[in-house]
């Protein structure tokens, strides 16, 4: 299994102090920075676009994990690659061209990722796993931070972990939504090796301690 990575989600940062917050979690031991891009159409919220990703890039050397919660993400893959994304993950529910998206992301020199929302069966993306460097399971409904973890995500992690192992694939298996110190051990046991955490990191009094606790649980 891959080493456990902690990916703080900047959706929980203070947008007026984004550079400071990103630098703080970088110094505190984060492994990557998770950037939630929302268009107000695929999800009922609007967050930020490529300019914010490019600005975040200036404040950290960590990989930028750019999660596109947007309709027809194929329109913006090159834009976010140029902005500094190291990973670009796209929702299977958001495009009719998933294979094209994953191949295009890799062609741009960026690591590719596929995402499933809570109502999507993991089997839906089995045919695309060989094209993915990251597989992301949403454990809340995408669009807003601070939601409670949906327990059915654990079964999806187990299913995807078993399928990746069966096929000898080494994609990272990421979880996003409602993750904290109270449930992260169970989540990791189900197969997740990349933990997206928002308020449990950015809202912690001691950021380094919070990151270490999630990693070592």
**Packing angle between helix 50-57 and helix 18-27, nearest 10 degrees?**
50
Q: 47, 43, 42, 111: which is closest to 77 by C-alpha?
A: 111
What's the CA gap between 1 and 160, in Å, rounded?
13
Give whole-number Cα distances, 125 to 6, 143, 173, 191, in Å: 24, 21, 13, 17
Which residue among the candidates 36, 39, 65, 133 is catalytic per the annotation?
Answer: 36
55 is catalytic: no
Q: Among candidates 180, 99, 116, which has minimal Cα distance to 145? A: 180
Does residue 21 carry a catalytic annotation?
no
**Taking CA 152 as the corner, what is the angle to CA 150 and CA 158, rounded to the nearest 5 degrees?**
125
Give Dmax (Cα) for the chain: 45
Under 8 Å between Cβ of 188 and 195: yes
Options 39, 65, 133, 176, the catalytic residue? 176
**Residue 2, Cβ neighbours under 10 Å: how many?**
11
Residues carrying an active site annotation? 36, 176
């Amino acid at each position: 299994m891959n080493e456990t990575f902690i990916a703080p989600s900047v959706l929980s940062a203070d947008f007026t102090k984004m550079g400071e917050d990103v630098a703080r979690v970088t110094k505190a031991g984060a492994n990557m920075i998770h950037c939630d891009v929302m268009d107000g159409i695929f999800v009922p919220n609007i967050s930020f676009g490529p300019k914010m990703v490019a600005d975040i890039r200036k404040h950290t050397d960590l990989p930028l994990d750019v999660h596109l919660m947007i309709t027809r993400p194929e329109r913006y893959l090159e834009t976010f690659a140029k902005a500094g994304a190291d990973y670009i993950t796209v929702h299977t529910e958001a495009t009719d061209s998933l294979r094209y998206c994953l191949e295009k992301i890799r062609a741009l020199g960026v690591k590719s990722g596929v995402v499933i929302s809570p109502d999507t069966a993991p089997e839906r993306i089995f045919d695309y796993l060989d094209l993915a460097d990251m597989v992301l399971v949403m454990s809340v409904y995408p669009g807003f931070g601070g939601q409670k973890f949906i327990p059915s995500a654990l079964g999806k992690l187990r299913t995807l972990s078993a399928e990746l192992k069966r096929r000898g694939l080494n994609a990272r298996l990421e979880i996003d939504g409602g993750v904290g110190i109270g449930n992260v051990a169970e989540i990791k046991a189900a197969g997740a090796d990349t933990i997206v955490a928002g308020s449990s990191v950015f809202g912690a009094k001691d950021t380094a301690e919070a990151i270490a606790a999630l990693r070592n649980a």
